[in-house]
Amino acid sequence: MKSPKILVLRAAGTNCELETANAFAAVGGKPELVHISEIKAGKKRLMDYGVLVIPGGFSYGDDVGAGRVLANQVRHTLTDLRQFVRLGRPVLGICNGFQVLVKAGILPHSNNFDQTASFTVNDSGRFEARWVHLRLNTQSSCLFFAGLPEMVELPVAHAEGKLVVKSPRHLEELKKNKSIALQYVTEDGKLMGYPHNPNGSIFNIAGLTNPEGNVLGLMPHPERFIEIHQHPNWTRQTYRKQAVGLEIFKNAVSHAR
């Protein structure tokens, strides 16, 4: 079966594109590192790809807010992104990529692609880089989580990971639409504050998906856990045959096929 082409979007300041491309290649995808200027110049077309991923990093130095500049470019350069999403093709935003999807109005889901959420600095006032416990929303239709257990662990690495929403009504809509893909929790699955919630995100939100489940934005880095031994406690991870991150990328490739 033909391997789907993966568009790994990059810009000045992106720094996780190689790890992300390697993760997709490991599960049978054909990743291509594409600078957004190549799309703007017409050298590359989004619709030629089966999956779009916006990796982590500090696009344009996050100088006017995390992901803001790249989000504006995405809105005005990837003009067929709405069609890409409506066709059911997977879209993944990791860390800075999640910030881009939110500030471009792709997430949370909106019929008019209006921005109804944003990110601000972590409550701790510092860069948080460590492993966290996460609970996946088994009620959502997120294709990236097919076959995964409810409780997983992934590493985070961010300074502006605190998700905020426009109003309490918008949070209720996220709950109602099952758009909350995953949450920061304790080891036994409870919603608690810092340090379990590394940034102070409202309702401990670590990731969002659209109602159809083909778009996922998350602050943790799945590309940093594609081999079991990357887990700090890997010698006791005998119950997992594959790393959680690898399975997330595998699900995207399988869907694109």
Per annotation, catalytic residue among 221, 231, 247, 255:
221
Read off the tokens for 165.
């929403």
Cα–Cα distance, 149 to 104 (Å, whole number): 30
Q: Is 158 a catalytic residue?
A: no
Task: Kindly state the DSSP code that residue 65 receives in the 8-state scheme.
Answer: B
| Coil, helix or strand at residue 149 | coil
Task: Based on the residue annotation, tell me whether 142 is a catalytic residue of this protein.
Answer: no
Amino acid at 233: N
For 129, residues 6+ apart whose C-beta sits below 8 A from its C-beta are 155, 156, 157, 158
Q: Catalytic residue among 17, 128, 160, 223, which? A: 223
* CA proximity to 143, closest of 50, 219, 225: 50
Quick check: 6 and 54 in contact, CB under 8 A?
no
Catalytic residue among 16, 17, 95, 160: 95
> Among this protein's residues, is 231 annotated catalytic?
no
Cite the active site residues: 95, 221, 223
